[in-house]
Amino acid sequence: MERSEGEIKVAVFDLNGTFYNKSSKDEFYKFILTKSPQRLHYYFQMLYYKALKELHQIRKTEFKENFFNYLDNLSPEQVEAYAKEFWEEEYPVNFNKELKSRFDQLKKEGVHIYCATGGLELYVKPLFEKYAIDGFAGTRVHYENSTYKVIGEACKDDEKIKRLDAHFKGKPYRVVEAYSDSKEPILDKADKAYLIKDDKIVPYTGQQT
């Protein structure tokens, strides 16, 4: 790739299974159950939608919308309050220490640190109030008739690149490093790309699945 003058250097990372060692959508549900045990019945719905996703019978955006039905009848303010408490418990103990150290070093070098995750921005935002980064994109939702509806597309695959483009508002940028737990387009955009396997950082060659 040719370098352009004045381009912004950015390191992009996925959240779940990457910086965060677990799956936030699952762990946040478990946390919600401690506050509202009657929501246990949503577990079976979640298994159903996971199965549809694995069988490619449902779009990723539709999956997100239905998987998070466990947040029905919880206002955005209540979800955010729960999320703050959730991340207080999870951060930093359940985060990849090696990655955090790398991000801290990149910050000192003037590299922008950016998270692109499929998780809902609604509950991810409080995390980055604890660990400050330059920007993040997640799946956006709005609260309508006591449930959450996805705005646009889920923040997955090519949508992550679109959101990164929107973040920089036409300014030239260069993805110098990218991290994920699985193959995705953002890795192919980076100068250096890495996969997280069993909490270890391994180089991504473009061949893995």
Q: Mind listing the pLDDT tens digit for each residue in 54-73? A: 767 777 777 677 768 889 99
User: In the prediction, which pLDDT does 69 show?
Assistant: 87
Contact 1, 174 (CB under 8 A): yes
* pLDDT beyond 70 at 48: no
Task: For residue 98, name the pLDDT band (cuts at 50, 70, 90).
Answer: very high
The answer to which of 55-64, 87-96, 102-111, 160-169 has the lowest mean pLDDT is: 55-64
User: In the prediction, which pLDDT does 55 show?
Assistant: 64
Q: What angle do CA 159, 108, 8 make, to 5 degrees?
A: 40
Using only the alpha carbons of the chain, give its radius of gyration.
17
User: In the prediction, which pLDDT does 54 show?
Assistant: 77
Q: How many CA atoms lie within 13 A of 158 on its CB side?
A: 0
If DSSP codes are grouped into helix, strand and coil, which group holds residue 188? helix
User: In the prediction, which pLDDT does 1 show?
Assistant: 44
pTM of the shown model? 0.89
Name the residue with tokens 């790739």: 1
Q: Mind listing the pLDDT tens digit for each residue in 16-39? A: 999 999 999 889 989 998 998 877
* pLDDT beyond 90 at 123: yes
How far is Cα 178 from Cα 75, in angstroms, rounded to an integer? 34
Contact 163, 137 (CB under 8 A): yes
The mean pLDDT of the chain is: 90
Question: How far does CA 146 lie from the centroid of its chain?
Answer: 24
What are the residues whose beta carbons fall under 8 Å from the beta carbon of 152, sequence distance 6 or more?
61, 140, 159
Domain boundaries, the chain: 8-203
How far is Cα 23 from Cα 172, in angstroms, rounded to an integer? 32
Specify the CATH class of 8-203 in words. alpha beta
* pLDDT beyond 50 at 209: no
User: 157 φ, ψ to 5°?
Assistant: 50, -125
